[in-house]
Amino acid sequence: MSSQITNSSTVDPSEIPLCKEQYITVYLNVYDMLPRGRITDICYRLGVGIFHSSVEILGREYNFGGHDSDYTGVFVTRPKQGPPNVTFKESITMGYTTMDKEEIKNVIDELSRAWRGNSYNLLTRNCNHFSSELCEQLVGKPAPSWINRAAKLGTFFPCVVPNGPGLDNGKK
């Protein structure tokens, strides 16, 4: 297909050539938190899974996790390595940002201050909430809703969620 731009009032965005130096790709990396088996197969058929997600940009992967201290819960890993005991599922291209490296660093620094480890909540402020917010700030759209569907369902049925640090039945 030709990439000529006409005088028409609308232009197909796919027809506009992109300069790689001006656009940085943002990926959402998704990990299965449950081992493969009959239960996970049933959950997938019902459209529910238990996932960890993180955002990959410029060769670094940004995650959020909980701990008891009042400092950031944001941490960096190598892309597609994930936390222990999870299995890489897929990488979703969320879009492209026109921010430069300094602007991206500022966004991540700001979120790192706001996302404290002791603010983690399994149902209402988890890694998927963080990834969704970071994607929204970088490319203007949140992570797909299925990533955090299990947590959303858990807020409706808190009696099935165990108590413990970060597992307070959605009460925070």
Number of domains in the chain: 1
Instruction: Please check whether residue 12 lies inside any domain of the structure.
Output: no
- pTM for this predicted structure: 0.79
pLDDT over 90 (residue 127): yes
Buried/exposed 156-171: b ≥16 CB within 10 Å, e otherwise: eeeeebeeeebebbbe
Distance CA 57, CA 64 (A): 15
Q: What is the mean pLDDT of residues 159-169?
A: 58
- Is residue 52 part of the annotated active site? The answer reads yes
Single out the catalytic residue among 19, 43, 127, 159: 127
Instruction: Please check whether residue 169 lies inside any domain of the structure.
Output: no
pLDDT at position 157: 78
Instruction: Please check whether residue 33 lies inside any domain of the structure.
Output: yes
Which is more confidently placed, 69 or 156? Answer: 69
Distance CA 44, CA 161 (A): 19
Cβ contact 26:139 at 8 Å: yes
- Is residue 67 part of the annotated active site? The answer reads no
